[in-house]
A and B are shown apart, each in its own frame.
Chain A
């Protein structure tokens, strides 16, 4: 295999994207919250990643969407106990995604009760429908929602939503 001693490493061995650490993600979110609390939006003092009211509301909406998916995993597992163990890892990942979305959209914390209410109102698999197929549809719809929202956001928020959308696309393939 022709390898040069001075060859370039494959992408996985290159340094991580310098401006996109978890710390940076959370910091930008915190800055966004500070702007919101101060009543400032796009003209705020955070030059790196201004957040508009619409973007903040959109992030809160995506938190609710993800919360509903977490509830959907529980509902599907309840409807088909055999599905519970098969989807345990996927459900855990959905929960991790929810946690990170909440951290990136701190404004949503104040409406956590609303999120919970919305999540608890999430439908269960309809009688007669395969819970696994129903769950796959829920995951797919959630991925679609995050992907659409990703395009409307900027910076770390866009990156997070896009990553979660991609992760959920991967989950769909495990449910079909």
Chain B
């Protein structure tokens, strides 16, 4: 049931499509991240990719249940910088998670249903937990963010 708000279900669905697009990009991007890492780093990338793949499928199913056509993955994505080292890979992972975080926050802003906001806040937290780990691997300080997904 929609909550009291002037934001329409259409805007909520549009925000869900943005989340789905971000998840598509994350799934693709973590392939690049994992390819540049070994050992525990690669395991973390594989786990993160699996998490984003699951979310991608979950969001797509949700949109389909609403008679919305889920946005497909793009044929290709532009890397923001060459990924030539473990440091580059961790930095890319941070960017992937930050991008997904923005989409989840956008969804919180646009959601009309409590169930959607619950989905968003839970996964925004999961995204930030991964981001904290990758910021540490990338040598970024601070590793925590006061406002994940929000403009600073």
Q: How many residues of B contact A (CB 8 A)?
A: 62
Cβ of B146 and Cβ of A97 under 8 Å apart? yes
Contacts of B148 in A (CB 8 A): 163, 166-167, 170
One of B41-49, B61-69, B73-81 contacting the partner: B73-81
Cβ of B150 and Cβ of A159 under 8 Å apart? yes
Cβ of B98 and Cβ of A12 under 8 Å apart? yes
Cβ of B108 and Cβ of A11 under 8 Å apart? no
Distance between B9 CB and nearest chain A CB, rounded to angstroms: 13
Most chain A beta-carbon contacts within 10 A, residue among B18, B104, B112, B124: B124
Contacts of B40 in A (CB 8 A): none
Does A173 sit within 8 A of B, measured CB to CB? yes
Cβ of A154 and Cβ of B132 under 8 Å apart? no
Our count of residue pairs bridging A and B at CB distance below 8 angstroms stands at 188
Q: How many residues of A contact B (CB 8 A)?
A: 56
Contacts of A93 in B (CB 8 A): 142, 144-146
Out of A22, A165, A174, name the residue touching B132 (CB < 8 Å): A174
Does A151 sit within 8 A of B, measured CB to CB? yes
Cβ of B147 and Cβ of A48 under 8 Å apart? no
Main secondary structure of the interface of A (DSSP, over half): helix
Cβ of B114 and Cβ of A152 under 8 Å apart? yes
The digit string for A9-30, where 1 denotes a CB below 8 A from any CB of B, is: 1111110110111100100000
Contacts of A10 in B (CB 8 A): 25, 29, 77-80, 92, 95-96, 99
Does A147 sit within 8 A of B, measured CB to CB? yes
Q: A11-B26, A17-B102, A155-B109 are in contact. Are A174 and B149 (CB under 8 A)?
A: no
Distance between A125 CB and nearest chain B CB, rounded to angstroms: 21
The digit string for B120-149, where 1 denotes a CB below 8 A from any CB of A, is: 111011011101110000000111111111
Distance between B89 CB and nearest chain A CB, rounded to angstroms: 13
The digit string for B79-119, where 1 denotes a CB below 8 A from any CB of A, is: 11000000000001001101111111110111110100110
Interface residues of chain A, those whose CB is within 8 Å of chain B, are 1-4, 6-14, 16-17, 19-22, 25, 42, 47-50, 52, 89-90, 93-94, 96-97, 100, 143, 147, 150-152, 154-156, 158-167, 169-171, 173-174
Interface residues of chain B, those whose CB is within 8 Å of chain A, are 3-7, 18, 21-22, 25-26, 29, 32, 74-80, 92, 95-96, 98-106, 108-112, 114, 117-118, 120-122, 124-125, 127-129, 131-133, 141-152
Enumerate the 9 nearest inter-chain pairs by beta-carbon distance, A residue then B residue, closest first: A11-B99, A7-B76, A4-B76, A12-B95, A93-B146, A8-B74, A17-B106, A166-B128, A162-B121
